[in-house]
Chain A
Amino acid sequence: MTVEFEVNGRAVTVDAPLHWLLADVLRNQLDLTGVHLACEYGVCGACTVLMDGEPVRSCLTLAMQAAGHQITTVEGLAPEGQLNPVQQAFINHHALQCGFCTPGFVVTASYLLNQQQEMTREQIREALSGNLCRCTGYQHIVDAVEDALRQSQAAGTTLAKTIEDK
């Protein structure tokens, strides 16, 4: 059956079997292989994508359920050749090693940035607790997200102040 939705700002029409997972359609039919699949039962978080701006497990979502929704994968977080603040912070803080879990972490953390709320380190840890990493360790990942949040807040405050001043 065909299903129409939006991926990374682009309208797509996909013909897929009814029982296929969104993750498989994103990877196999749309070549968005930044969506990683590991556990396939909602525990590891590697397949996290944004659905209408909210983080969801693409292994626990059927492709048919994406109909009419906006999906953002790690590929869609920044324009081609550029990095979003979370991705840059991951490099600065050495927050990845093998990189398998990284897309899920980056998508989840980008959602946190979009919320524009102040978060304590403990809250960041809780928010990232649905993503598992087996090699880097979590300290550097939390450092990176904390830094990206702080920077985006500073930028947000500067922006707000600039608008106010004008």
Chain B
Amino acid sequence: MKPAPFTYVRAATLDDALLKLQEWGEEAKVLAGGQSLMPLLNMRLAQPRYLIDVNGLPEMTGVDWCSETQALTVGALTRHRELLQHPLIETHAPLLSEAAQYIGHLAIRSRGTLGGSIAHADPAAELPLVLTALDSTLIVRSFEGEHSIPIGDFFLGYYMTILEPNELITAVKIPGLASNTGYAISEFARRHGDFALASAAAVVTVDERGTITKAQCAAGGVAPNAITCPAVNDSLQGARTLRDFSQAAQQLENFIDPPDDLQASGDYRRCLAVELMTQAIGQAYARAVGTKEAWA
């Protein structure tokens, strides 16, 4: 199908985009990569009156490492292909590159953007998952000013976020990888590029004896949005064997209740999530202790 008619405007500057968002509010949608929004428009599941194209705005573009704060700032318009190739991302947030490999297909990765994926808030999306595990912060702008939102507070449920109609994500701030820290993403989909049936991400830090001192795990596709897993994190304190990891991952079972759908039953998804979490923790741990051995 074709989209219903709308008024398209290309924002000349960020202020221009924010002014229009302020004026049009819920009647407007922001167009970035369009890889989720355009299908919704084509199927007429969304029929906004205005489309504000933010592609090319310099304030939302680029990747920057601040050695003082040890944080990486990634512009919201960074495309998935750039996540795969950017040297600063490879150095300071390699989990983002790993996650981007799972996203859709070649042509989707040419256009899709980081900010777009976050704002769309698909429960199975990879970037919200890994940004949750990485404890990222979203930089949000409106006509009234700028503020930061920890990603853990951002998602409200299926395709729902706390972003106000006049607000725009302009960048994501990601803490740099601490020393002795490893990361991993693990997901399962029936075919490469499909929506994940379940996914897991882990970032773990070990001490000099190879014992986990800090863990930040997240699960995707098994709840209305990507979720942190405090019980898994707590259980990983002091962990160092595959059995420990598996026991920690089991904690997931108690606080997820994925619904049945055409793709898989809820029970299957729950089992899958635990297994994927075990794999992600194992791989993150192996990287943290600097070994190449694959636990998965």
Contacts and interface: CB of A to CB of B under 8 A. Distances in A.
A131 B193 CA distance: 11
A96 interface: no
Interface string A110-135: 01000000000000001101110000
A147 to B, nearest CB: 20
B55 A60 contact: no
B8 A18 contact: yes
A130 B34 contact: no
Interface in B15-60: 31, 34-35, 38-39, 42-43, 51, 53, 55
Interface stretch (A37-45, A71-79, A87-95): A37-45
Interface in A121-158: 126-127, 129-131
B165 interface: no
B145 interface: no
Contact of A130 (B7, B39, B51, B105): B105
B266 interface: no
B6 interface: yes
Nearest to A59: B42
Nearest to B55: A65
Nearest to B37: A60
Interface stretch (B107-115, B178-186, B247-255, B272-280): B107-115
Contacts of B39: 41-42, 60
A24 B192 CA distance: 29
Contact of B81 (A41, A54, A60, A131): A54
A20 B38 CA distance: 11
8 contacts: A18-B8, A20-B2, A41-B39, A42-B39, A60-B39, A108-B106, A130-B104, A130-B106
Interface of A: 17-21, 24, 40-42, 45, 48, 51, 54-57, 59-62, 64-65, 67, 108, 111, 126-127, 129-131
Given A61-B34, A130-B105, 10 more contacts: A19-B4, A19-B6, A40-B42, A41-B38, A51-B110, A57-B107, A60-B39, A64-B8, A65-B55, A130-B104
